[in-house]
Amino acid sequence: MGKIWLEGLALLTVVFSYNQTAAAAVTDGTSKLPWQIDGTPGVCLLTRTIPGTSPALFAIRTVPGSDRYRFIFAGEQILKTSLASNKRAEIVFDDGKPSIDAWSSGIRLSPYPYAVQAEFEDGTVIRRLGQAASVGIKIEKNNVGLAVLEGAGKAAEALNSCITEQLVQWGADPAQFAPNGMPPAPLRRRDDWLSAEQLAKMEIKHDRSAMHAKYYLSISVDGKVDGCTRINPDSGKDDADRWICPALVSQHLFEPAHDSAGKAVRGVVSFMFDIVTAAR
C-alpha cells in the first residue's frame, strides 16, 4: 500500500541541520542581533542560538510562497515526553491571539539533548513573530518549549525579505509586496488541488519507496496557473513530474496578486508533496 501527503503533512523524525557559515547575521543597523538568516534555493531559514553551558536554539524554516512553516525548539528545557512523532501541537505567541494548530515530532539536532519541530500553515505568522516577545509550543496541552524573541522585529523583516527575494527571482511582480499589495490568494486548500484519481495514478506509477518534490507555480493576472517549475531539479525527474505540472497548469486556483492600487499582477506560489509507499 502507498500513501501520498500533500504539503508535507506527515512529519518524520529526521536530522535537522543548517549551514551556519552560509548564514548572514541579522542587524538593527548598528549591531548584530542574536539571529541568523540563511536563504538557499527553495528554503528560508531563520535561527536564534543561545550559547553557554545550556545551549538552546529556536529556528523557523519555510519554502517561499507556501505559507507553511516549521518551528524548531531545541535545548535542555524541551520535555523529553514531547519527542514522539505526529502529535497534535499548538504554537503560542504572547500576543493574546489564538494559538496556531500544528503537528509535532522529535528530531535529532546536535549538540542539543532534545529538540522538537512543529509544522503548520498560517499566513500571519511572520507578522506575529515581529510583534511578539516570546513564542512557545504546547503538545497535548503541555508547555514543552519556549523561545524569547529578542530583536524579533528585525528578524521577521529578514525572513520576509528572504521569501520575497526568492519569489521575485521566480517571476513574481515586486509590486505585490509594496504596502497594500497582496500576493495570490488560493481559492481552495492546496490539499484539494489534485483529485483522488490523479493521486492514485501517481501512487501506481512511481517506483520509489519515498519521494519529496517541490514546485513553484507561476500565477497569471487571471489567477490561473500558467507555469510549473521544479524547485529541486537535482532530485531527478520521475513519474511525479509527468503528472503534477500537467494537472495544475491552466487551473484557476487563485485570486490574482495585486499591487497597491489594486491592479492585478503576476504572482508565484510553491507547492510540495510527499509520496511514501509501504512494503507490498
CATH number for the domain harbouring residue 150: 2.60.40.1880
Joined grid coordinates for residue 197? 484519481
Considering the domain architecture, whether residues 189 and 135 belong to the same structural domain is answered as no
The average confidence (pLDDT) of the chain is 83
Considering the domain architecture, whether residues 198 and 106 belong to the same structural domain is answered as no
Out of 3-12, 15-24, 214-223, 265-274, which region has the weakest mean confidence (pLDDT)? 3-12
The total of structural domains in the chain comes to 2
Considering the domain architecture, whether residues 110 and 52 belong to the same structural domain is answered as yes
Considering the domain architecture, whether residues 117 and 207 belong to the same structural domain is answered as no
Considering the domain architecture, whether residues 68 and 194 belong to the same structural domain is answered as no
Contact 142, 105 (CB under 8 A): no
Considering 41-45, 229-233, 274-278, the range whose residues carry the highest mean pLDDT is 41-45
Q: How sure is the predictor about 191, in pLDDT bands with cuts at 50, 70 and 90?
A: confident
Query: What is the pLDDT, as a whole number, of residue 272?
Result: 82
Considering the domain architecture, whether residues 205 and 239 belong to the same structural domain is answered as yes
For residues 126 and 199, the model is more confident at 126
Considering the domain architecture, whether residues 147 and 226 belong to the same structural domain is answered as no
Rounded Cα distance between 247 and 245, Å, is 5
Rounded Cα distance between 268 and 173, Å, is 9
Considering the domain architecture, whether residues 28 and 157 belong to the same structural domain is answered as yes
Rounded Cα distance between 239 and 237, Å, is 7
Rounded Cα distance between 256 and 249, Å, is 15
Give the residue numbers spanning the domain of 143.
10-169
Answer yes or no: is 231 within a domain: yes
Considering the domain architecture, whether residues 23 and 144 belong to the same structural domain is answered as yes
Answer yes or no: is 152 within a domain: yes
